Amino acid sequence: MEFSRKRPNAGIRCPGHDYRSRCIYHIVLNKADSIPDFSAVKGIPGDRQWPPIVELSPYGKIIGKVLSSLKSSFPFISILRRCIMPDHVHFVIFIRKATEIHLGEIIREMKRRCSSSLEMMGHEPEIEFFIPGYHDTFLTGKDQLKKMLAYVSDNPRRHLLRKSKPGWIRKFIIENAEKNKKYEAYGNWDLLSEFQRVPVKVSRKYTPSELRGWKKLWYITILNDGVLVSPFINPAEKKVRDWAIDNGGSIIYLTYKPFPEKYKPQGKMFDLCAEGRLLIIFIPPDEKEAEHIREKGSPSYSHCRKMNSIAKEIADLEYHPL
């Protein structure tokens, strides 16, 4: 069965967030089963002559026209990016000032206009264009907009990659060409493309206020469909990891243990890989560190620091599968 990357349509918005405030959102709407595909994705990933493109069907063209027309009713919004995939649509919307209008009202009007266009195409009036609800994520950091826009634009390429390489039960190499760094990895390489990748590290140097701030960010990241990145070494970090997993979150887990030739994670870790919610990255120790691990059965303080440093790097920089 082909792995689906459609987002669940969340019925509950992020607690504590004001959906009438000035904010930038990434929205995903999923196609109703009765509606033909919005588009077809064609091309070859990585090929300059035939790059991945989206060819819109008549239904996809309706979505494009409706998104362009929304500003006439909501002059305080801007659509910064859009990508209309075969069975779902992504768009980035900028609410440029605080208003009395909830984000949900704007989405509802967008859906209404699409469904009204169906009637003009001869469909029954009660036919819905999208399934109920919508999925939203919003910016929580000043450096995330570029990543959010790139994520939306990159959907056609990732779609074709997933079709050619379905599933996440395999080993591969990830690379940052700029830093000339490569690591062996296992699981869902797509997590490297999520625009909200936040490192998890609990330090004794944190003040109570700083720790509360980090915990709030980790909480919002998971609710916002982001990814937590860490070796999850100490008990407090493991609690964050377990909470994220139990609440449907995704993690990038750094390990000091190499992958055997026919490696497969065991138990829950295997299930998380199969669900596309886990990427495991092996951070090789040097000779001295490897000796320490053989003697003690655990990494040294210096190697833990190294893994935490690389976790932050993976959260901040662009790594890609080879």
Chain segment 149-162, per-residue pLDDT in tens: 988 998 898 788 77
- DSSP E strands in 47-120: the ranges are 53-56, 77-84, 88-95
pLDDT at 85 over 90: yes
Cα–Cα distance, 155 to 162 (Å, whole number): 10
pLDDT of residue 96: 95
pLDDT of residue 239: 94
The predicted-structure confidence for 276-311, as pLDDT tens digits, reads as follows 899 999 999 988 888 888 888 888 999 999 999 999
Q: Which residue has the tokens 């826009």?
A: 149
Return the half-sphere exposure (C-beta side, CA atoms, 13 A cut-off) of residue 51: 4
Q: Which residues, in sequence order, are CB contacts of 128 under 8 Å at separation 6+?
A: 32, 34, 111, 115
Q: Which residues, in sequence order, are CB contacts of 280 under 8 Å at separation 6+?
A: 185, 186, 187, 253, 254, 255, 265, 269, 273
pLDDT of residue 91: 96
DSSP-derived letter for residue 138 is: E
What mean pLDDT is reported for the chain?
87
Instruction: Kindly state the average pLDDT of the residues 132-142.
Output: 84
User: Residue 33: helix, strand or coil by DSSP?
Assistant: coil
CA 166 vs CA 42, 149, 161, 188: distances in Å: 17, 25, 8, 10
Confidence of residue 60 (pLDDT cuts 50, 70, 90): very high
Confidence of residue 11 (pLDDT cuts 50, 70, 90): very low
- Cβ neighbours of 13 (radius 10 Å): 15
The predicted-structure confidence for 25-36, as pLDDT tens digits, reads as follows 999 999 999 899
Cα–Cα distance, 202 to 262 (Å, whole number): 33
pLDDT of residue 31: 93
pLDDT of residue 223: 84
- Cβ neighbours of 297 (radius 10 Å): 7
